Amino acid sequence: MSFLYPRTVTVTRPPNTTSFGPQQYQGLQPGQETIVAKDLPASIQEHRTAADPLARLPADATGRGDWVIFIPGYAASLGTILKNDIITDDADVRYYVTLPYWNGLGYKLTVETLKN
């Protein structure tokens, strides 16, 4: 941890669902996610707040808080974090990656808060 990156995060990836037809709910289940990277330094900053989704599914974003998470380039290289990945911070708050952007300084991730 440092002054610029005072938090730590873990990146996980939900499984791909390739089946079709009637099935049980297969939303984001933490026990089914694959760890991509652990203990990455991060800066988490509020971006904006929007309305709750209408579907009200267990994995829906709550309060639709849009956040920006910055991860330095030395901690995660290009292609490490993808759209739809899950970020869990050191306070056990889960975020859904909606827009991963990478440049020479590192990642700028636009994320939404998930229900815990």
pLDDT, one tens digit per residue, over 4-20 is 999 999 999 998 766 66
Domain that holds residue 99: 7-14+32-52+61-114
In a domain, 22, yes or no: no
In a domain, 27, yes or no: no
pTM: 0.77
- 87 in Cβ contact with 69 (< 8 Å): yes
What is the tens place of the pLDDT at every residue in 57-110? Answer: 666 655 556 899 999 999 999 999 999 999 999 999 999 999 999 999 999 999
Q: What are the Cα distances from residue 75, in Å, to 8, 53, 71, 84, 96?
A: 11, 33, 7, 20, 19
In a domain, 1, yes or no: no
Q: What is the pLDDT at residue 31?
A: 67
What distance in Å separates the CA atoms of residue 6 and residue 17, rounded to the nearest whole number? Answer: 35
DSSP 15: P
Q: Amino acid identity, residue 100?
A: P
What is the tens place of the pLDDT at every residue in 24-68? Answer: 555 556 667 899 999 999 999 988 666 666 666 666 655 556 899
Give the total number of structural domains in the chain.
1
